[in-house]
């Protein structure tokens, strides 16, 4: 069989380009410290070289031709994103097999898009097909772009924690996150950048179509492209893609969410084993029906609350400061920390038996709602936050256990209503019954200036701009929360025979970088907590009251709220641990033994932590 000199030259060029592509990527991985080793790259050498050569043969276009740039860039984005950003973040090696899968998938996407384009262009609808291919490039680049963009914003690769937030988020919170971390102006610039990319990609694809159609596309070339396309469809999305680094992390998050959805399925089984002696709980020990209220704050940091940090420049807690000074029933705890710096993982533990310290499984954990119902309360859950995403978050699953659960915005978005709207929901509560009420507020969720009406804009920046994330705006949001708490307290005491009220925040806030766990600092987990005990409560449960008065300077993490609520209601059971109950004499933790970020940090690592006081 005679092979012309021109054909020989084309084969040599195709092989040279393919080997160059392969060797450059191997060199890239070695250079960043992610050498996958010959055990992984040698077995894929021949298939990748063959695929790249067949692509060039089928399209008549050299691998590194400018017409291939959009597809090549798309593939390289997948090849490089996770390995590079993981290295920059942790300065250590990742699994060699995962590096190999990223390499194969990136190359496979390049081959898939190019072979598809070669077939589509033969319709001779060059402009239309070029527009379609440009859109496909942008869609396929979404994952690498997200990874690079996230790194640029926080200097950390995507982690399970950040992917969890992404998985459970909604479009409003996504917009808030982007506006707070990027800014509206830069978002517009980025949008223009995407538009420019689409235009340049469209131009390149038009050139691809013209060059391809300038050659004779016989059945051999079309067959090669069709077979290559079919092979890549099988290899990329069906086999290798689920095994890539980012896909596996996403899969872990997806599995977690799927498992938490089982929480409701096991409700009756859990509830039936909750053995509380209702004759000795708080409702049974008081003379008349009363109410216990739990208020869950959002992104409130005691660093920026005058009642907890007297040196703070803004007097943003006038009501709480006055109550703490004048009413002995108000007890403020100076050394409370969150167990994590994001809402869902924190409240998953605060509201149920699960904690950092006991290793219990969420699905098998009773909640404070379950305890209250078994203790003889009618239970209510009123939330000014949305349900977080297309799936019920663990917070929503717990809330659904209440006799009545309502959201001010009963959708999967964050509410744009101010927290005072919840006061109207309190009016639905029957004062002739024993009531246990949970109020989940928006508090100081970013943007801070969206959390209060104009009447509460007490402090401004010097020029009146930049209020979205300014400390003055944050102080205004705390001031509004302080007012909200005062109104809840006054209404409940006057109309619902308030016996106890507990306020805590899910997590804190760093006013520069918010509360991203990938860039952790302790101000993200320093949270406020206070308890109000009525005279009636103190008479009914004097031991808990006396113990809580002595806890002012003790250290505590909010994942032990479940056991503390059990103690507050005098409702112990075999699903209760006294050593995690802040109201119990058997409370067994100190600053040296407590942790945050689910055990990643000891509290005694906090450089600004106060000395622990035991009395």
pLDDT of residue 181: 65
| Same domain, yes or no: 308 and 168 | no
User: Mean pLDDT over residues 512-528, rounded?
Assistant: 91
| Same domain, yes or no: 233 and 310 | no
| Same domain, yes or no: 452 and 523 | yes
Going by pLDDT thresholds of 50, 70 and 90, the confidence category of residue 172 is low
pTM here?
0.74
- Distance (Å, whole) CA 201 – CA 134: 5
Which SS3 state, helix, strand or coil, does residue 435 take? Answer: strand
pLDDT of residue 92: 80
If you write DSSP's letter for every residue of 2-69 in order, what string do you get?
---HHHHHHHHHHHHHHHHHHHHHHHHHHHTT----HHHHHHHHHHHHHHHHHHHHHHS--TT-GGGH
Among 136-150, 250-264, 405-419, the range with the most confident prediction by mean pLDDT is 136-150
Residue 160 has pLDDT above 80, yes or no: no
Dihedral-angle region of residue 464 (phi above 0 means left; psi in -120 to 50 means alpha; beta otherwise)? left
Residue 137 has pLDDT above 60, yes or no: yes
| Residue 606 domain flag | no
Q: Is 569 exposed, middle or buried (0-12, 13-18, 19+ CB in 10 A)?
A: buried
| Same domain, yes or no: 215 and 310 | no
| Same domain, yes or no: 359 and 244 | no
Taking Cα atoms as reference points, which of 117, 306, 97, 84 lies closest to residue 225? 117
Are the CB atoms for 27 and 73 separated by under 8 Å? no
Domain, as residue range, for 58: 5-253
How many separate domains does the chain show?
Answer: 2
pLDDT of residue 391: 45
- Distance (Å, whole) CA 354 – CA 423: 30
Residue 421 has pLDDT above 90, yes or no: yes
For 312, other C-beta atoms within 10 Å of its C-beta total 18
Sign of the Cα pseudo-torsion (528, 532, 537, 539, in order): positive
Q: What is the pLDDT of residues 42-87, one digit of tens each?
A: 899 999 999 999 999 999 999 999 999 999 999 999 999 999 998 9
Q: Which residues on neighbouring strands pair with residue 439, listed in sequence order?
A: 295, 382
Beta-carbon contacts of 171 under 8 Å, excluding residues fewer than 6 positions away, are 413
| Residue 28 domain flag | yes
Are the CB atoms for 506 and 299 separated by under 8 Å? yes
pLDDT of residue 412: 47
| Same domain, yes or no: 213 and 299 | no
Residue 411 has pLDDT above 60, yes or no: no
| Same domain, yes or no: 579 and 438 | yes
Q: What is the pLDDT of residues 544-588, one digit of tens each?
A: 999 999 999 999 999 999 999 999 999 999 999 999 999 999 999
pLDDT of residue 456: 96
- Distance (Å, whole) CA 546 – CA 169: 42
Q: What is the CATH number of the domain that holds 416?
A: 3.40.720.10
| Same domain, yes or no: 235 and 309 | no
Among 32-46, 208-222, 422-436, the range with the most confident prediction by mean pLDDT is 422-436
- pLDDT, the chain, mean: 91
């Amino acid at each position: 069989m005679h092979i012309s000199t021109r054909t020989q030259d084309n084969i040599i060029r195709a092989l040279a380009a393919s080997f160059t592509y392969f060797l450059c990527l191997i060199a890239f991985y070695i250079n960043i410290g992610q050498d996958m080793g010959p055990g992984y790259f040698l077995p894929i050498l021949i298939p990748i070289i063959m695929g790249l050569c067949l692509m060039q043969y089928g399209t008549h276009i050299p691998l590194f031709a400018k017409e291939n740039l959009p597809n090549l860039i798309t593939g390289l984005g997948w090849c490089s994103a996770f390995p590079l950003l993981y290295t920059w973040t942790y300065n250590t090696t990742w699994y060699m097999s995962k590096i190999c899968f990223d390499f194969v998938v990136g190359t496979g996407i390049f081959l898939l898009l190019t072979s598809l384009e070669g077939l589509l262009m033969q319709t001779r609808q060059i402009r239309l097909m070029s527009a379609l291919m440009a859109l496909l490039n942008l869609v396929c680049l979404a994952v690498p772009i997200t990874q690079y963009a996230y790194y640029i914003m926080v200097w950390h690769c995507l982690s399970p924690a950040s992917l969890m937030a992404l998985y459970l988020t909604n479009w409003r919170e996504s917009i808030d996150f982007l506006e707070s971390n990027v800014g509206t102006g830069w978002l517009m610039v980025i949008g223009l950048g995407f538009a420019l990319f689409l235009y340049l990609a469209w131009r390149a694809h038009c050139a691809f179509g013209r060059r391809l159609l300038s050659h004779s596309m016989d059945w051999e070339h079309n067959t090669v492209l069709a077979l290559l396309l079919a092979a890549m469809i099988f290899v990329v999305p069906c086999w290798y893609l689920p095994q890539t680094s980012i896909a596996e992390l996403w899969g872990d998050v997806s599995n977690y969410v799927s498992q938490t959805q089982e929480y409701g399925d096991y409700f009756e089984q859990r509830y039936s084993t909750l053995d509380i002696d209702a004759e000795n709980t708080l409702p049974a020990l008081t003379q008349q029906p009363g109410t216990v209220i739990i208020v869950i704050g959002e992104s409130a940091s005691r660093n920026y609350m005058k009642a907890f940090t007297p040196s703070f420049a803004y007097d943003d807690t006038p009501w709480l400061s006055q109550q703490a000074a004048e009413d002995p029933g108000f007890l403020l705890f100076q050394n409370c920390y969150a167990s994590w710096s994001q809402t869902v993982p924190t409240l998953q533990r605060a509201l149920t038996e699960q904690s950092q310290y006991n290793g219990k499984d969420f699905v098998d954990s009773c909640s404070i709602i379950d305890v209250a119902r078994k203790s003889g309360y009618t239970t209510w859950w009123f939330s000014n936050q949305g349900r977080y995403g297309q799936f019920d978050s663990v917070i929503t699953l717990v809330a659904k256990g209440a006799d009545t659960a309502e959201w001010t915005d009963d959708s999967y978005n964050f509410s744009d209503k101010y927290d005072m709207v919840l006061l109207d929901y309190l009016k639905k509560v029957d004062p002739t019954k024993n009531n246990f009420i949970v109020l989940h507020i928006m508090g100081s969720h970013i943007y801070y200036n969206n959390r209060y009406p104009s009447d509460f804009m007490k402090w401004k920046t010097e020029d009146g701009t930049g209020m979205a994330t300014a400390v003055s705006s944050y102080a205004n949001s705390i001031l509004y929360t302080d007012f909200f708490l005062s109104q809840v307290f006054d209404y409940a005491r006057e109309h619902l025979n308030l016996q106890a009220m507990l306020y805590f925040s899910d997590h804190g806030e760093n006013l520069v970088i918010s509360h991203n766990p990938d860039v952790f600092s302790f101000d993200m987990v320093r949270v406020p907590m206070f308890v109000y005990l009525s005279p009636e409560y103190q008479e009914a449960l004097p031991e808990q009251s006396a113990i809580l008065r002595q806890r002012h300077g003790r250290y505590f993490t909010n994942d032990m709220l479940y056991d503390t609520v059990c103690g507050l209601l005098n409702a112990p059971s075999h699903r209760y641990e006294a050593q995690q109950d802040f109201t119990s004499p058997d409370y067994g933790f100190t600053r040296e033994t407590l942790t945050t970020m689910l055990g990643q940090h000891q509290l005694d690592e906090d450089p600004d932590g106060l000395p622990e006081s035991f009395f």
